[in-house]
Structure 1
Amino acid sequence: MYSAVVLLSLYLAAVKAQQVGTSKAEVHPPLPWQKCTKSGGCVTQSSGKVVLDANWRWVHTTTGYTNCYTGQKWDTSICTDAVTCAKNCAVDGADYSGTYGITTSGNALTLKFVTQGSSGNNVGSRVYLMASDDTKYELFKLKNQEFTFDVDVSNLPCGLNGALYFSEMDADGGMSKYPNNKAGAKYGTGYCDAQCPKDIKFINGEANVVGWNGAPNDPNSGTGNYGTCCTEMDIWEANSMATAYTPHPCSANGQTRCTGSECSSICDQPGCDFNSYRMGDKSFYGKGLTIDTNKKITVVTQFITSDGTANGALTEIRRIY
């Protein structure tokens, strides 16, 4: 199976760029995790950290603090074309707790849906797990492995999506492939998924300015002509009322830019999901049910292969609570 980056999100969206600003230093919140084997037990990866996706960050001119993008519009005096915009605009460091409601404590990560900050309200967030060098994403090879985490969705109502998933992104956020991308994984660049989202403002080191139109239901978002596709494995999409896990394979390998109708044909966008309620068991998951969402839940996902090795064909994705 592909190498994938793990993402955690509480959903809605905002802004993305390619150069590096100097207004605020980027300090990644620590998030230690464990790597376990039958023979050696569990070893804590103490250097683990998380980084905020660049789509949520402030984007301004490299020579000052004028916004490159405000509300649903690009500043066309700065962003005259895709390449010029990427060269003229910088993404800055993040105030993780104050602006975005992202905090860590020991091996626990908390994402707030709405955070009231000095510049207004922030809605949602998306973070990635960083590798030990703090400039690349942690990659996972999933075949013949299992992935385990604890989650508390007791205060997450119907209509919200607390998600943990893998996405086939470049480890460096696309920095080595695209010369205009100077920010890289350290600033959360390079996002892609199986929906081939077109609301990503910088793709392949270029601004997604061509054909950009504001979103009808989001005052801070829009879509351009380009989307960004890659294989996605939704380990956990859930709230206190419902949950699903879903593989989304793609015909392309790795992060791939698309345009027009092509964006709906590269990946299996609906995916092959398992939702216990939809499958007929209406007493399995929810408040006070078999999997009681009033409590913290331990979620185990196993990637079973035909021969019990990492080289075998994937035959089953198994869920255990």
Structure 2
Amino acid sequence: MSWLTARLGRWRDARQAASRFGVSQFGASRFGHSRFPNSRLDSAASAAARARQASLRRWGWAGAVCGALLALLLYAPATWLASAVAAASGQRVLLAQAQGTVWNGQAVLVLSGGPGSRDATALPGHLHWTLRPAGLGAMVRLRQACCLNGEVGLRVQFGWSRLSVQLQPQSGWTGQWPSALLGGLGTPWNTLKLGGALRLSSPGLTLEGTAGRWLVQGRADLDILNASSPLVTLSQLGSYRLSLFSNEQGQVQIVLSTREGALQLSGDGLWGPSGVRFRGEARAGEGFQDALDNLLNIIGRRDGARSVISIG
């Protein structure tokens, strides 16, 4: 009988344990045919799976947005750069028919008289550029077969209400363009219809704009070589130099001088926050008064034998 008593005791203990978990001796719940402990595990696993799926969806959307932004940055169209250049120059420097991207592109360079002007002159061929980030700015490299001496570098840096543009030093001249390009700027250039060439040279030049004021470090010389005009019977007017440099007061000094020629030009001025202020004069060289009389009336305000040039 002892073995029967022990067995009944074990059966009773098992039934009491099952009752505490809500499960009968046959494995069924008092609430129906479900296994309560396993159901709680299944619910926890389902919740974890749903959380993982939600997290994966969030990461998927984040990756898609980042990928789209990166693609937009890498393949930003060249027309965006053309719009920025036009806005910065007051619609006077235009990159027409822009192709490629902001980082590698090409366009036709056009000089215009600004908004509302009907005067515009385009350079032959295409201006090619590459743009790369450099510190807090960018490095721009320009190439144009017709007009640039090899590759010209511009370093652009941005700051708080500050913009700096540095022309990299280069041996020899930097760029050369037909003087007729000036006709796109409007009066008086479109009337003079200058022939000859413009040549820019610089040992290094930095333009820094702060609060509407431009400061210059270095120097640049723009030579007008073998200038001519259909308004006179002379084959050539002469050659001239317009120099741009900083003076002791940190202002941008402008000096116009004659290198040689029948038409004598001279003058100086300042480029400040209010724009360019320039005063100069034009005279006919000895023996050329009659040939240049009509031109002197057009260039500026006539004052006897000279023509007074006033800008700003």
Please report the TM-score for the alignment, with normalisation by the length of structure 1: 0.25
Question: Looking at both structures, which has the greater relative contact order when contacts are Cα pairs under 8 Å and sequence separation is at least 6?
Answer: 1
Question: Which is strand-richer, 1 or 2?
Answer: 2
* Structure (1 or 2) with the larger CA radius of gyration: 2
Question: Which is helix-richer, 1 or 2?
Answer: 2
